[in-house]
Structure 1
Amino acid sequence: MFPPADRRSAFTNAPMGIALTTPAGVLVDANPALCRMLGMAAEVLHGQSVLDLVHPAGQAGASQAHATLLAEHRQPMRLETRLMHADGDEFPVQVTASWVDGSSAGDPPHLVMIVEDITDRKALEAQLLHRSLHDPLTGLPNRLLFHDRLQHALERGSRADTPTSVLIIDLDDFKTINDTLGHHTGDLVLVAFAERLQTVLRSSDTAARLGGDEFGVVCEHTDRAHAELLVGRLRDAFQDPLVVEETTIPVHMSIGIGHVESGADPAHAHQRVVREADAAMYATKRHQR
Structure 2
Amino acid sequence: MDDDAVLDGPGRGTGRRAGPRAGADHDSKRAPRRRSRPESQSAPGSAPGSASESAGLAEDAVSAFLHAPLAVAVCHPDGTVLRVNPAMTALLGYPPQDLLGRDLFRLLPDDLVAAAKAAYAALRRGDVDTVVHETRFATATGPRRDVRVTTSAVRDTAPGREHLIMHLEDITDREDLRRRLQYEASHDSLTGLWNRARFLEELDRALPRGERHDQPVSVLYLDLDNFKAVNDRHGHAAGDRLLQSFGDHLRDCVRPEDTAARLGGDEFAVLCENTTAAQAAVVVERLTGGTWASAFTDLALGVAIGIATTPAAGTDTHGAADGDHGSAETLLHRADGDMYAVKARRGG
TM-score range, shorter chain: 0.7 to 0.9
CA separation of 1:145 and 1:38: change in aligned 2, threshold 3 A: same
Q: Which residue of 2 aligns with 1:170?
A: 223
Instruction: Single out whichever of 28-37 and 165-174 deviates more from structure 2.
Output: 28-37
- 2:242 maps to which of 189, 200, 217: 189
- The answer to whether the Cα contact below 8 Å between 2:245 and 2:293 also exists between their aligned partners in 1 is no
Which consecutive residues of structure 2, in runs of 5 or more, have no partner in the other structure?
1-52, 314-321
Q: Per-residue displacement from partner, 1:185-236 (whole Å, max 9, x unpaired)?
A: 2222222222333333333332211001111111233210121233233334
What's the C-alpha RMSD, in Å, of the aligned pairs?
Answer: 3.9
- The answer to whether the Cα contact below 8 Å between 1:166 and 1:259 also exists between their aligned partners in 2 is yes
Mapped partners of 1:86, 1:136: distance in 2: 33
Which structure 2 residues correspond to residues 1-289 of structure 1 after superposition, within 5 A? 3-22=57-76, 25-35=79-89, 37=92, 39=94, 41=96, 45-46=100-101, 48=102, 55-68=109-122, 70-73=126-129, 76-83=130-137, 91-100=145-154, 102=156, 110-154=163-207, 157-158=210-211, 161-237=214-290, 241-244=293-296, 248-262=298-312, 268-287=326-345, 288-289=347-348
CA separation of 1:182 and 1:43: change in aligned 2, threshold 3 A: closer
Q: Per-residue displacement from partner, 1:121-157 (whole Å, max 9, x unpaired)?
A: 4444333322222211122221122223334544554
Q: Secondary structure at the match of 1:281?
A: helix
The one-letter code matched in structure 2 to 1:171 is: L
- The answer to whether the Cα contact below 8 Å between 2:211 and 2:325 also exists between their aligned partners in 1 is no
Q: CA deviation at 1:257?
A: 0.5
Task: Report which of the two structures shows the higher radius of gyration computed on alpha carbons.
Answer: 2
Q: Size of the alignment, in residue pairs?
A: 282
Q: Which has the higher contact order (CA 8 A, sep 6+)?
A: 1
Q: Secondary structure at the match of 2:156?
A: coil
Mapped partners of 1:147, 1:123: distance in 2: 26
Mapped partners of 2:281, 2:262: distance in 1: 20
Mapped partners of 2:323, 2:89: distance in 1: 53
Mapped partners of 1:162, 1:21: distance in 2: 53
- The answer to whether the Cα contact below 8 Å between 1:178 and 1:186 also exists between their aligned partners in 2 is yes
- The answer to whether the Cα contact below 8 Å between 2:81 and 2:99 also exists between their aligned partners in 1 is no
TM superposition score normalised by structure 1: 0.76
Mapped partners of 1:44, 1:229: distance in 2: 55
TM superposition score normalised by structure 2: 0.65
Q: CA deviation at 1:35?
A: 4.2
